[in-house]
Amino acid sequence: MARHAGGRSWYGKVVGAALGVTMLATGASVWTAQAGPAGASSPKATASASPAAPGKGGKPVSKTIVHASDAGKRGINLTIDDGPDPVWTPQVLDLLRTYQVKATFCMVGTQAQAHPDLVKKVVAAGHRLCNHTVSHNTAMDKASQTYQSQQILDAERMITKASGGVRSMYYRAPGGAFTPYSRTLAASRGMRPLGWNVDTKDFEHPGTDAIIATVERELPNGPTLLFHDAGGDRTQTVEALRTLLPRLKEQGYTFGFPVR
């Protein structure tokens, strides 16, 4: 799983100023870390926290990074990162509805907070939510555990509030910047760390044909596809999906969700 930037510069322009205001406005908790058993790190909140897993009685999830699909050998996990966005997310949702495809939306906390109507539309359409941190810092694996906690837990709260109470089922580190600590923390909150196998590099605007070719060439590497619905002009992404969704279904692939 290669690291990618995925629009970091776009978020960097707005998050620095907005994050402090957001944390104050939402009553963000301050988190610290303690050493756990066998040298593992575990979060300790200085404020009350919500239940550890989505829903009541949810079974624990693994802290290993998942790529497999619950749709089986010919299954595909379509994952959409960095939104929601008022221009591009509705277009992606329209295509998914047209071709009866379900996807996992990896949402940035500030974007979810700004567009709760779109978060609710994603949930209402039967798609799943994934926590993509507050500010999409692709270098967060170099940051302190306190910072990692804030990025994950504040985004969890923002997305849950925007969705009307539906919690994220996965956690995807920006640019793949996972750490053992962040994976353990996410799993303790009921969010399975989520990787990818096929990076379409649509954020680089390589052209619609190039995005399609990347998927067709690299799909044998594994079932999880990475696209973006925010962070810039996503015309190429939408057009690539318009071609790929029916083509892949015609080839006998089915669309599912990452294994929990």
Write the single-letter amino acid at 150: Q
- 255 neighbors 101 (Cβ within 8 angstroms): yes
Instruction: Provide the 8-state DSSP code for 168.
Output: P
Give the total residue count for the chain: 260
Do β-strands 192-193 and 254-256 pair in parallel, antiparallel, or remain unpaired?
unpaired
Contact 161, 119 (CB under 8 A): no
Tell me the residue ranges of DSSP E strands in the chain: 31-35, 41-45, 75-81, 104-107, 128-131, 170-171, 192-193, 198-199, 224-228, 254-256
User: Where do the DSSP E strands lie in 175-236?
Assistant: 192-193, 198-199, 224-228
What residues are labeled active site? 81, 228
CB of 188 closer than 8 Å to CB of 52: yes
Q: How far apart are CA 11 and CA 113, in angstroms?
A: 14
126 backbone φψ class: left, alpha, beta (φ>0; ψ -120 to 50):
left
Sign for the CA dihedral angle at 31, 152, 84, 234 comes to positive
* ∠ Cα 195 116 153 (to 5°): 50
User: Phi first, then psi: what are they for 254, rounded to 5°?
Assistant: -125, 150
